[in-house]
Structure formats: C-alpha cells, structure tokens
A and B are shown apart, each in its own frame.
Chain A
Amino acid sequence: MPTLTQSNIGGPPPTIPDLPPGGGGGDDRGRNDRHNQRNASITGILVLMCASIMTFAALVSAMMVRRGLNNDWHKLPLPQILYWNTGILVLSSIALDVARRQLKRNKRQLFNWLWTAGTLMGAWFLVGQIIAWEQLASRGFFLQGNPSSAFFYVLTWAHAAHVVGALFAVSYVEFRALRFELGLNRRTWVDVSALFWHFLDVLWLGIMGLFVYWA
C-alpha cells in the first residue's frame, strides 16, 4: 500500500498498479471486505431514505400550496381502519426490531418467530390500506374529487409503493432466516431492511398526522 505524504495531499490517491476486476461479487481481493460492504449498505439505505424524503416533501409542499390556492379544500373524513393500520404498522416495526436484537444475541430461533410476525403484520398493513381505499371510494371519495382526497390517494399510494418494496426485502430476509442462513456475522440485510421499515413507519405516522390534524 503506497503511503500518503504531505506533498501528495489533494493530488491523485494511491492507485492500484494492475487493474482488478471492477464489478460483481467475489472478486474484491480484500479491499471491499465484508465490513466495508456492510457500511456501504447502511449508507446506501440512509441515502435512499433521503431520496424518499425529498419525494414526499415535494408532494406535501404541493399539497400545502394547493390548499392555500382556493377555498375548495374539504377535510377528508378518514376511515376508522386507518387507525388500526397505524397500530399494526407500529407493532410490525417493534417486532422486526426486537427480532433484529435477538439475532445480534445469536438467538436465531426467536429471531425467526419475531421476524415472521413482523412480516405478516406488514402484509396485513397493506391489506388494511386496500380496504381503506375501498371504503373511501364507496363513500364517493375518488382521486378526481376534492384535492384533499386526491392528495390522500397520491401520498398513501406512494407510501404503499415503498411498503411493497420493503416487504420484498423483509420477505427475502424471512426466506433466508427460515433456512437458517443468517447469524451474527450475516445480518446486514436484517439491519438494513429493519431500518427502512422503521423509516416507513415514521413516514406513515407523519402522513396520518397530516391528514388527522391538518388536511
């Protein structure tokens, strides 16, 4: 490894004399070791959250501007089931996090049970959302109607799209967990998907708060 000296600060960094393969797995030659990849995955998911926050910030700011434009905004009567959905999502988040901590203590059996519970509750949340949309539609609140219902659909659909993606990740962990492929040293996917799930949880609480107290 070439060393860095004061004179080459700001200049080209130490380079690799022979070009190693530049992609795929298993060809890392120790540079991007597992530790590095774990850090990169966690950074990646945090950065992805920033991107999601920007998307939702754009939608919410559009909603605020739209509400201030005219006097045609009607408060949306929220279906009761949304509160149940909120509870289930929070519970699933707790289950996944407790599971994550159990894996850290190498209690793999307990991890599997808790993670399965969290995953099922996540799926249940999604079903609950579909029921909520149907209830709203049966009461005559459509996408084309009042801007409050239009924004409700847009925000909850965008959130649901995120949940579908996160469910794939959580289910992938579930699949590997049931085959006992995860453990103390193999838990990056667990941590990353749990982190994203908590993010969706907080995001949902924000959306609910917005519609309960403001819109």
Chain B
Amino acid sequence: MANPFSTDHRVIAKQYFALSLTSVIAGVLLSLLMRYHLVYPQSQVKWFEALWPISAQGGIMTPELYLSLLTLHGTLMVFFVLTLAPLNAFGNLVLPHQLGASRMAFPRLNMLSFWIALLSFLLLIASFVSLGGGPLSGWTAYPPLSAVGAIAGPGEGRGQTLWFFSIAAFSLSSTLTAINFIATVIDCRAPGLRLMQMPLTCWNWFVAAILSLLSFPVLLAAGLLILLDRLAGTSFFVPAGLQIADQQILHSGGSPLLWQHLFWFFGHPEVYIAILPAMGVVSVILSRDREGVIFGYRAMVASTIAIAFLGLLVWGHHMFISGLNPYSAIAFSFLTMSIAIPAAVKTLTWIATAWMQKPEFTTATLFALGFVSIFVTGGLSGLFLAQPQLDAYFHDTYFVVAHFHLIMGIAALFGIFAGTFHWFPLMFGRTLNEPLGKLHFYLTFVFAYATFLPMHFAGFAGNPRRYADFTTFDFLAPLLPLQKWITHSAFTLAAVQLIFLWNLVHTLVTQPKRSAVVMERY
C-alpha cells in the first residue's frame, strides 16, 4: 500500500483515478434512479423509503428529492469525473514521462491539490446527507433560489451552503493543479525538447491547464460572493422586492444575471477542460502504431489553441434566453459557430491519421474512433443551439440534455476509456483483457446512442428538461413511450459498464504484475 500522502505523481494519478471511478459509479447510479422515477413516478419502491424516510415517503420520490439527485449527479460528473479523470489522473500519470521529466514541477503542491479535491468531494457528500436534504439548484446553482437559504426549499439551507464550500474547494484544487501542469510543461521538459515537438497529449493538457487557470478562479470569486449573500446578508445576486413562499426577502438590488455571467465564464471553458485531454489521448492512440506520426501536427496544435481561445469568449450562448441584449447574442452566436472550424480541422485530421496509420483495432483504438463519432454527433447539435432563435425553443428541452451528454459526457468518457485501456500497463503493470474490452466498447457505443439520440426527438417535440415527472402532463403523454425507451436503454448502458468493472477488478486480482513496463509505446 503506497503512502496516501505520497508526492509521487504516479501515486497521485491513481488517487485521482480512484476518486473519479467512485464518483462515476455514484453518478451513474443516481442517473438510474432519476430515469426510473421519470417514467414510473407512482411505483412504490420500498428501499427508496428506507434511504430517504422523509423525501420518499411510501417509496415515492418527491420532486425535491429528484432535483437533489439531479444536482448531485451533475456535480459529480462534471467536476469529479470529467475534470479529474482526463486532466488530473492521466495528466499526472503520463505528462512527466512524455516530457522526459522525472516528476512534476511541484510534487508537494500536487499532493496538496489532491487532498483539497478529496475534501471538496467529502463536502459535496456532506451536503447531501445533511439535515434538510441535498441542494436542489442543479450544478449551475442559479440564484436567487440558491442564494436565499432554506426558504427556497428543503436542501437549500445547509445543504446548498456546503455545496458552495465544496465547489470553492474544488476551484482552489484545480487552480493549484493548473499551476503545476503549466510550470511542468514550461520548465521541466527534457533538454532539447521544444514545445512544437511535444506529443499532442502534452499540448492538450497544457492548454486545458491554461483554461483551468483562467476559469476556476472566476468560479471561486463567484462562489465567495454567493456564500456572502447566503451567510452575511449581502445582495450581490439577489434582487430587491423578492417574495418567496409569501415571505419578503430582505435583500436589495443584486442581479441573478451577474451570477450567470460569472458562472458561465467558468462553465463554458470547463467543457473544453473536460474534452481537450480526451482529444489528445485520441490523437496519440490513433497514431501510435507507426512511430507516432500524426497527420497535420501543427494544425492539431493550432486548432487546440483556437478551440481554447474561442471557448473563453462564448459563455453568453448559455444565456440567450436570460434576457441578453440581442446584439451581444449575435456576437456570442457567431463566435460559438466559429468553433466548428477548429473542431472540423481536428475531426478531419483524426480521420486522416487513422487512414494513414491503418491502426490495429485494439479496444483503445476503438474507443478513440468512437470518440470521433460521438464528437461529431454531439457537436452538430451544438450548431443548432448556437443560434439564439433556435435556442429560444430548444433551451429548456431534452435537446440540450442530449447535446451536452453526448459532447461532454459520452465523448469525454470515451476518451477516458481509451486512456484507461491504453495506459493501464503504465498505471498498474498489467494489461486489460482485450476481448472483454471490445465487447464493452461495442455495447457501450450502441447503447450510448440508443440512450441519447432519442432525447433529440423528445427535445424537438418540446419535452421540457428538469421536470421530475412526465406522466401528469397531457402534452407529454405521446412522448412517454420514447422516454421509457430511453430509461430502459440507460439501464442497459449502465449494466454494460459492469463488463468494464469486471475487467478492471479481474485483471488487477488475477494478472501478475510485470516488473518493467516498456515505455516506448506510451
């Protein structure tokens, strides 16, 4: 058993990996509970009542419980899975080796970052088991309801406060990690290794770290302001004259829109913090069989930088229906759609690289190719949402759920799976079972599409998101069979992941550890 306070970047990588794995398992289980409740809201489940005696009396979830599950699912997945696994876990594992360094620039800071991230995780869990229940505001925590305390609903009291402390801690941890990554890339490269000779993985971690550095401090600032609104009675985000539950709220003159600007200034780059490392992994895996030659290396680096730069300028497209000035909406819309150019450069380059390399179809390669497919599908729906006129209709529908789950969730997860299969020998000195891996890939690929593609149609039909129950609305009755299909498919998709878990555990338990790992392939 390694020292838990180790400063070895490989140990820290495994710690992040374990934290992400725990979070993804919890996040998936939460999503299953939500999907089940959405289509069978009246069925009485005994153990719901055992788990939540107050908010699931008689085995039926309250809408508030549904919203708290939604919040925990979103927070776990966005922060503790999509941020930690591709950047912190794989970055720590591989970056120093690929740079020819023996360690990260600041090993102790690295260890501290992990422990702050773990503290953040524990605070998040505490927010859900605290008295009153978990917060209901979703991972975006829009004020005023997230800023006025328990009057806004059960879980909006202590639970929401703990949630904000958790996010503040996470922001601090991510900022420190970003400092470490940037300093490592700039100063710890092997002598003679120039920036334009680095593998694309290093470039993508480097740029993702820069995005982290520029966006997480803004979330930290916003989190501190909203904590003051909640705990010290200030009015940064709470408007005057607000009445909730027949009670006058004693705040004056703040603006909920201000939170949205600050939050999405972080929130949109966050999407790229999650996806850029996955892009790097895909590039390296697709090119590994022929000495790592990549078609259009310079174009890949340039498009990574372009995506990150544009990603910093487009936060307003999350706010088209928030009362944004139409002129600024046009600017945000134009900038958002222009991201399609570097994204297309990347896609074509991956296809060209795969074409040139004619890679062996290992599980890692399959997941890398699957990533390209999902990236295109999820990206195309982004072009719809980038237009204010269309977004006015789509914004609160399942179309958005489909879009971000494909482009951010499944695409990044495919990158994580590809990285896990590719770098498992480096992490544990063992190789994951290939036939099982391929079975896992094909089933995951099919059921990921089967789950998220129909959500587009639900969105077209105007099916609202964030509703806890579809059965009580006449206009949603024709969509119920579709939603049931999605639920069944989601359960199957989750069940398929047991193959991966089995592969992971079985390999670790039964395979002997190889003493030396051949580094050249990684």
Q: How far is the CA of A183 from the CA of B233 in the complex (A)?
A: 50
Q: Are the C-beta atoms of A69 and B103 separated by less than 8 Å?
A: no
Q: Are the C-beta atoms of A65 and B182 separated by less than 8 Å?
A: no
Smallest distance from the beta carbon of B230 to chain A beta carbons, Å? Answer: 13
Q: Are the C-beta atoms of A144 and B102 separated by less than 8 Å?
A: no
Stretch from B52-60, B155-163, B255-263, B493-501 that touches the partner: B255-263
The proximity string for B residues 452-494 relative to A, scoring 1 for CB distances below 8 Å and 0 otherwise, is 0000000000000000000000000000000000000000000
Closest to B186 in A: A43
Q: How far is the CA of A17 from the CA of B516 in the complex (A)?
A: 9
In the bound complex, residues from chain B placing their C-beta under 8 Å from that of A59 are 221, 225
Q: Is B512 an interface residue (CB 8 A)?
A: no
**Residues of chain A from 1 to 60 with CB closer than 8 A to chain B in the complex:** 1, 3-4, 7-25, 27-29, 31-32, 36-37, 39-41, 43-44, 47-48, 50-52, 54-59
Q: Are the C-beta atoms of A23 and B110 separated by less than 8 Å?
A: yes
Q: Are the C-beta atoms of B102 and A51 separated by less than 8 Å?
A: no
Q: How far is the CA of A51 from the CA of B171 in the complex (A)?
A: 11
Central interface residue in A19, A23, A50, by most chain B CB within 10 Å:
A23
Q: Are the C-beta atoms of A11 and B179 separated by less than 8 Å?
A: no
Smallest distance from the beta carbon of A8 to chain B beta carbons, Å? Answer: 7
Q: Is A72 an interface residue (CB 8 A)?
A: yes
In the bound complex, residues from chain A placing their C-beta under 8 Å from that of B213 are 47, 50-51, 54
With contacts A54-B218, A62-B262 taken as known, whether A47 is within 8 angstroms of B519 at the C-beta atoms is no
Q: How far is the CA of A28 from the CA of B183 in the complex (A)?
A: 17
The proximity string for B residues 208-250 relative to A, scoring 1 for CB distances below 8 Å and 0 otherwise, is 0000011111101110110010001111100010000000000
Q: How far is the CA of A63 from the CA of B258 in the complex (A)?
A: 10
The proximity string for B residues 493-522 relative to A, scoring 1 for CB distances below 8 Å and 0 otherwise, is 000000000000000000000001101101
In the bound complex, residues from chain A placing their C-beta under 8 Å from that of B235 are 147, 150
Q: Are the C-beta atoms of B217 and A52 separated by less than 8 Å?
A: yes
In the bound complex, residues from chain B placing their C-beta under 8 Å from that of A110 are none
Central interface residue in A8, A51, A59, A143, by most chain B CB within 10 Å:
A51
Q: Are the C-beta atoms of A66 and B236 separated by less than 8 Å?
A: yes
In the bound complex, residues from chain A placing their C-beta under 8 Å from that of B196 are 9
Q: How far is the CA of A54 from the CA of B291 in the complex (A)?
A: 40
Q: Is A137 an interface residue (CB 8 A)?
A: no
In the bound complex, residues from chain A placing their C-beta under 8 Å from that of B190 are 1, 13-14, 31
Q: Are the C-beta atoms of B107 and A51 separated by less than 8 Å?
A: no
Which of A8, A22, A29, A66 is in CB contact (< 8 Å) with B9? A22
Q: Is B175 an interface residue (CB 8 A)?
A: yes
With contacts A24-B7, A55-B220, A144-B234 taken as known, whether A16 is within 8 angstroms of B100 at the C-beta atoms is yes
Smallest distance from the beta carbon of A153 to chain B beta carbons, Å? Answer: 9
Which of A51, A56, A158 is in CB contact (< 8 Å) with B175? A51
In the bound complex, residues from chain A placing their C-beta under 8 Å from that of B11 are 22-23
Q: Is B435 an interface residue (CB 8 A)?
A: no
Stretch from B21-29, B91-99, B274-282 that touches the partner: B91-99
Q: How far is the CA of A43 from the CA of B105 in the complex (A)?
A: 10
Q: How far is the CA of A66 from the CA of B517 in the complex (A)?
A: 57
The proximity string for A residues 107-151 relative to B, scoring 1 for CB distances below 8 Å and 0 otherwise, is 000000000000000000000000000000000000110010010
Closest to B182 in A: A47
Q: How far is the CA of A154 from the CA of B223 in the complex (A)?
A: 12
Q: Are the C-beta atoms of A40 and B184 separated by less than 8 Å?
A: yes
Which of B197, B218, B253 is in CB contact (< 8 Å) with A72? B253
Smallest distance from the beta carbon of A18 to chain B beta carbons, Å? Answer: 7
Q: Is B445 an interface residue (CB 8 A)?
A: no
In the bound complex, residues from chain B placing their C-beta under 8 Å from that of A144 are 232-234
Q: Is B386 an interface residue (CB 8 A)?
A: no
Q: Is A80 an interface residue (CB 8 A)?
A: no
In the bound complex, residues from chain A placing their C-beta under 8 Å from that of B98 are 12-13, 15
Closest to A10 in B: B297
Closest to B288 in A: A12
Q: Are the C-beta atoms of A143 and B234 separated by less than 8 Å?
A: yes
Which of A36, A51, A66 is in CB contact (< 8 Å) with B255? A66
Closest to A3 in B: B192
Smallest distance from the beta carbon of B100 to chain A beta carbons, Å? Answer: 5
With contacts A11-B291, A24-B8, A72-B252 taken as known, whether A143 is within 8 angstroms of B102 at the C-beta atoms is no
Q: How far is the CA of A4 from the CA of B191 in the complex (A)?
A: 10
Q: Is A70 an interface residue (CB 8 A)?
A: yes
Q: How far is the CA of A13 from the CA of B95 in the complex (A)?
A: 11
In the bound complex, residues from chain B placing their C-beta under 8 Å from that of A36 are 187-188
Q: Are the C-beta atoms of A55 and B217 separated by less than 8 Å?
A: yes
Q: How far is the CA of A32 from the CA of B217 in the complex (A)?
A: 29
Smallest distance from the beta carbon of A166 to chain B beta carbons, Å? Answer: 16
Q: How far is the CA of A69 from the CA of B188 in the complex (A)?
A: 47
In the bound complex, residues from chain B placing their C-beta under 8 Å from that of A62 are 221-222, 225, 236, 258, 262
Q: Are the C-beta atoms of A22 and B102 separated by less than 8 Å?
A: yes
Q: How far is the CA of A143 from the CA of B110 in the complex (A)?
A: 35
With contacts A36-B188, A65-B255, A69-B253 taken as known, whether A21 is within 8 angstroms of B232 at the C-beta atoms is no
In the bound complex, residues from chain B placing their C-beta under 8 Å from that of A58 are 217-218, 221-222, 262, 265
Closest to B251 in A: A144
Q: Are the C-beta atoms of B183 and A47 separated by less than 8 Å?
A: yes
Q: Is B254 an interface residue (CB 8 A)?
A: yes
Q: Are the C-beta atoms of B187 and A43 separated by less than 8 Å?
A: yes
Closest to B174 in A: A51
Q: How far is the CA of A70 from the CA of B235 in the complex (A)?
A: 12
Smallest distance from the beta carbon of A140 to chain B beta carbons, Å? Answer: 15
The proximity string for A residues 85-111 relative to B, scoring 1 for CB distances below 8 Å and 0 otherwise, is 000000000000000000000000000
In the bound complex, residues from chain A placing their C-beta under 8 Å from that of B232 are 143-144
Q: Are the C-beta atoms of A22 and B103 separated by less than 8 Å?
A: yes
Q: How far is the CA of A122 from the CA of B334 in the complex (A)?
A: 48
In the bound complex, residues from chain A placing their C-beta under 8 Å from that of B265 are 58
Instruction: Report the 4 A-B pairs with minimum CB-CB distance, sorted nearest first.
Output: A11-B292, A23-B7, A23-B8, A58-B221
What are some 29 contacts across the A-B interface (CB < 8 A)? A4-B192, A4-B197, A10-B200, A10-B293, A10-B294, A11-B291, A13-B199, A15-B98, A16-B519, A18-B516, A22-B102, A23-B7, A23-B8, A23-B104, A23-B110, A25-B107, A27-B102, A31-B100, A32-B101, A36-B187, A36-B188, A40-B187, A44-B109, A48-B179, A54-B214, A54-B217, A58-B222, A59-B225, A147-B235
Could you list 16 further interchain pairs (A-B, Cβ under 8 angstroms) beyond the known A144-B234, A150-B236? A9-B196, A10-B197, A10-B292, A10-B294, A12-B199, A19-B517, A23-B107, A32-B188, A51-B217, A54-B213, A54-B221, A65-B255, A69-B254, A70-B253, A143-B232, A143-B234
Binding site for B on A (CB under 8 A): 1, 3-4, 7-25, 27-29, 31-32, 36-37, 39-41, 43-44, 47-48, 50-52, 54-59, 62, 65-66, 69-70, 72, 143-144, 147, 150, 154, 158
